[in-house]
A and B are shown apart, each in its own frame.
Chain A
Amino acid sequence: MTALANPRLAVELDRSDEFNADACMNCGVCSAICPMGVDVQPRRLFRYVLLGMEDRIAAETETVYSCLLCKMCEENCPSGVHIAENVRTLRHHINRTVFGL
């Protein structure tokens, strides 16, 4: 299904100073070293945010919550993406939109 690109989500999430998903250069180190072997790599999750694909993010609720926030990825990220903080921001968003908290 074609998703409609929508900058609104990125702008909304961008309120946190720490949220820097667009620094990702898609090298894949994060995916390679994730101890949970999460299916949807952080880099793809962040692109969903940047492209405004809200339903894709909602569909990945499990993934977002399976992250241990161990920061192994963040420690090794050559682009300095604040992956753990980004995941927290996503959780905050999902809490509101999916769980209505």
Chain B
Amino acid sequence: MSGRRIGVYVCQCGGNIGDYVDVDKVVATIEHEPDVVVARSAMFTCSDATQQEIVQDAEEQKLDGLVVASCSPKLHTYTFRDVAKRAGINPFQYTQVNVREQCSWTHTDDHEGATEKATRLVRAGINRTRLTEPLEPIVVETTPKSLVVGGGIAGLRAALGLAEIGLSVFLVEKEPRLGGWVASFGAMYPHGRNGAELVAKLEEAVRANPAITVFTNAEVMSKSGSFGNYQVTIAVHGERLETITVDVGSIVVATGFETYEPAAGEFGYGIDGVVTLPQFKKMVDGSAGPLTYNGRPVKTIAYVYCVGSRQSKDVEGGHTYCSRYCCTAAVHAALEVAAKADLSVRQYHLYRDMRTYGKYELLWNESREKGSLYLRVPDDEPPAVEKIASGGLKVTTRDLLTGGEEVAIPADLVVLVTGMVPRENDELVSVLKLPIGIDGFFNEIHPKLRPVETIVDGVYICGACQSPKNSAESVTSGLAAVTQSGAILKRGFAELDPMVAMVDTDACTWCDKCLEACPYAAIEQVDEDGKAVASVIRTACKGCGGCVPVCPTDAVDLQGYTDAQVKAMIDGLLEVTCS
């Protein structure tokens, strides 16, 4: 007995846990653990009623430790930290035990085993909680300035948004001009407004805003400092190279995408008259009247969808994701063609699945009424594109909607509806330590709940560098990054988790092994009474624990997950249960 007073709550999660784990049995077993003064089961621990019950128990029973056994800590760590706070318990003396993803859902075929495992997991959580110390969040003052990397539509709008909430902004663009891809677009869906005009307006507003400093022909060279206070060096290429270092509190990455370039021969690419969607878009934007190609009127167009998207896993380096914007972009291009000609232009769309989601469905409907015919083609039989003797093109495919009839379409022009691919940006990735997802795009922490945050605090991603997006979605995410920046910079300070490494300077001999192990450059050498020792930069440390096992003198420990706590958890997991 350590004199601690711990409350334990085991969740049924409706039937998610309760159908496989005998929650009442778990509670009956662990309520006899030392220091446990309250143990209860709940249908939904995250519900308001149960949260209130925890607060009430804490007051009545003078709890100083809390264990919630429910779902993944990814979901509800912050929920129950808040509950702990309201209950007067230090939020870092609460332990989240995962008995759903790591127990009930994985052992649906073994109720007894799942119950036994849940008991052990909860006991481990109690053992950790017993050894917790109250911790306070690390408070850092933040610099009220932001850096935006990339001057496309997302970066421009983000820069303007940041300036509008009263922050100073540095906007870095690699190219000599601002505007990105959208600056090269004519009419864009859904409103048909001109892309170049759209970003020109945005650029004008950005240039006119005194809070925004624009660097074109510029690149991010290095980053130092830590959350809330980064020093970023920017190289500006001009007649001579200039480097500028700026202090910023947040970094918004909006570096955009590349378009997929088909290989020679892929769907006939390389044959005269076979063009990609961006090339086609330029042709349509540039023609005042009916579309012509090589001086001849274009009467029939065949669109081949999903070129470079939704590729098979077997394709080396294939892009397996849906590129999201291309269906609607192609449908819109077809409408532009119809608007510039009469309706006699016949347009055949060879698709795998039409994904003109949401409001864009209306465009699809309209195109159907204006000379577009949609043919569903098999996933595993790509349409064949070839040149025919008369000089035109022929696309052969099977139309699944007529039960797989083989159809040959004579076409004047074949448009390969190409998607977005991630841009190669190795230098920026290594400077900013940007996380890359399986598709090669930058990765957010949580696609729903933290959609623009990265694992690097204060570094946000938006626009198509994160995933294929249309311009509206890019701007939306750019503004989300503005809000996130505002949340940490407008308050003047930010709070960080105190679950970071700490050094016992008596034991440390500065061998620099921890420095080598640290992926976040969070260890520095300091002098303590004439002795060189390691010190943790608490605002840079992510609490990964990489430095702990490499220390030859056991001088490093992780606050909140100390060796002693982890050992106690292992003991709890291994304890023999008598039932």
Shortest distance from the beta carbon of A84 to any chain B beta carbon, whole Å: 21
- CB neighbours (8 Å) of B409 from chain A are 5
Q: Is B408 an interface residue (CB 8 A)?
A: yes
A47 to B403: give the CA distance in the assembly, Å.
10
A2, B408: Cβ atoms under 8 Å? Answer: yes
Question: A3 contacts which of B300, B373, B401, B406 (Cβ < 8 Å)?
Answer: B406
Which residues of B line the A interface, CB within 8 A?
300, 344, 346, 348, 368-369, 373, 375, 396, 399, 401-403, 405-410
A1 vs B408: C-alpha distance when bound (angstroms) = 10
A26 contact set on B, CB distance < 8 A: 401
Chosen A-B contacts, 22 in total, with CB atoms closer than 8 Å, are: A1-B406, A2-B408, A3-B405, A3-B406, A4-B408, A4-B410, A5-B348, A5-B407, A5-B409, A11-B344, A23-B368, A26-B401, A44-B401, A44-B403, A47-B401, A47-B402, A50-B373, A51-B375, A51-B399, A51-B405, A53-B407, A56-B405
The answer for the CA separation of A44 and B399 in the assembled complex, in Å, is 11
Contact (Cβ within 8 A) B402 A51: yes
A: residues with CB less than 8 A from B are 1-5, 7, 11, 22-23, 26, 43-44, 47-48, 50-51, 53, 56
Closest to A20 in B: B369
Bound-state Cα–Cα, A23 to B372, Å: 11
A3: B residues at CB distance < 8 A: 405-408
Docked pose: A73 CA to B402 CA in angstroms: 18
Max chain B C-beta neighbours (<10 A), residue from A11, A47, A56 = A47
**Contact status A51-B403, CB under 8 Å:** no
Indicate which residue in B399, B406, B408 contacts A47 across the interface (CB closer than 8 Å). B399
Contacts A5-B348, A26-B401, A43-B401 given; does A51 touch B407 at CB 8 Å: yes
Check A2/B399 contact, CB under 8 A, given A50-B373, A53-B405. Answer: no
New contact pairs (16) apart from A4-B407, A26-B401, CB-CB < 8 Å: A1-B406, A2-B396, A2-B407, A3-B405, A3-B406, A4-B408, A5-B348, A5-B410, A7-B346, A22-B368, A22-B373, A44-B401, A47-B399, A48-B402, A51-B375, A53-B402
Specify which chain A residues have a CB less than 8 angstroms from the CB of B402 in the assembled complex. 44, 47-48, 51, 53
A43 to B403, CA, bound (A): 11
Given contacts A44-B403, A47-B402, A51-B402, contact A22 B369 (CB under 8 A): yes
A48 CB contacts on chain B under 8 angstroms: 402
Min CB distance, B125 to chain A, in Å?
52
| Interchain CA distance A43-B409 in the complex, whole Å | 20
Q: Return chain B residues, CB-CB under 8 Å to A4.
A: 407-408, 410
What chain A residues lie within 8 Å of B399 (beta carbons)? 47, 51
Distance in angstroms between the alpha carbons of A58 and B401 in the assembled complex: 19
Most buried by B among A1, A5, A23, A48: A5
Chain A: minimal CB distance from B97 (Å) = 48
Closest chain A residue to B405 by CB distance? A3
- Smallest beta-carbon distance A49→chain B, Å: 11
Task: Report B-chain residues with C-beta under 8 Å of the C-beta of A11.
Answer: 344
- What CA separation (Å) do A11 and B345 show in the bound complex? 11
Closest 9 CB pairs of A and B: A7-B346, A5-B409, A2-B406, A47-B402, A2-B408, A26-B401, A4-B408, A44-B402, A5-B407
A3 to B348, CA, bound (A): 15
Residues of B within 8 A of A7 (CB): 300, 346
Residue in A closest to B398 when the chains form the complex, CB atoms: A2
Q: Report Cα–Cα, A47/B529, bound state, in Å.
A: 87
Q: With the chains together, A56 CA to B406 CA distance in Å?
A: 12
The CA-CA distance from A48 to B401 in the complex, in Å, is 10
Task: Closest A residue to B394 by CB, please name it.
Answer: A4
Query: Which residues from chain A contact B401 at a C-beta distance below 8 Å?
Result: 26, 43-44, 47
Closest A residue by C-beta to B369: A22
With A and B bound together, what is the CA distance between A53 and B406 in angstroms? 11
Least CB distance, B161 to chain A, in whole angstroms = 40
In the assembly, what is the distance between CA of A51 and CA of B409, in Å?
A: 9
State A2–B346 Cα separation when bound (angstroms).
19
Q: How far is the CA of A47 from the CA of B401 in the complex (A)?
A: 8
Q: How close is A53's CB to chain B, nearest CB, in angstroms?
A: 7
| Whole-angstrom CA separation of A63 from B408 in the bound complex | 25
Task: Contact check, B408 vs A5: say whether CB atoms are below 8 A apart.
Answer: yes
